[in-house]
Amino acid sequence: MPKGGKKKSANGHQRGRGRVENVSDDESILDNASVVSIASSSIPDEAEAEVDEKSQEEAFEEKLLECVENLSEKSAQTRTLALQSMATALSKKYLPDFVFDRHMTLSEAIRSSLRRGRGAEQEAAAQLAPLLCVCLGACDEAEEVAASLSTTLLQVAADASANPHARAKCCWSLAVLAFLTELEPSEALASERLLADVFSGSYLKGDGHTPNITADTAALHAAALSGWTLLATVDGCQNLDAVGQDHLIDMLGSGHLDVRVAAGEALAVMHEIKPLEAPEQVRKFLVTCYL
Calculate the average pLDDT of the chain. 79
Which of the residue ranges 20-34, 45-59, 108-122 would you say has the lowest mean pLDDT? Answer: 20-34
The Cα–Cα gap between 88 and 275 comes to 39
Confidence of residue 35 (pLDDT cuts 50, 70, 90): very low
The pLDDT of residue 29 is 44
Q: Are 188 and 150 in contact (CB under 8 A)?
A: no
pLDDT of 33 reads 46
CB count in 10 Å sphere of residue 79: 24
Residue 36 reports pLDDT greater than 70: no
Q: Residues, the chain, total?
A: 291
Mean pLDDT, residues 129-144 taken together: 91
The pTM for the full model equals 0.74
pLDDT(42) > 50 = no
Residues 34-39: contacts with CB under 8 Å, at least 24 apart: none
Element at 153 (helix H, strand E): helix 140-158
Count of other CB atoms within 10 angstroms of residue 26: 8
pLDDT confidence bin for 246, thresholds 50/70/90? confident
CA dihedral 61, 62, 68, 73 (to 10 degrees): -160
Q: How far apart are CA 129 and CA 93, in angstroms?
A: 16
Structural contact between residues 186 and 170, judged by C-beta atoms closer than 8 angstroms: no
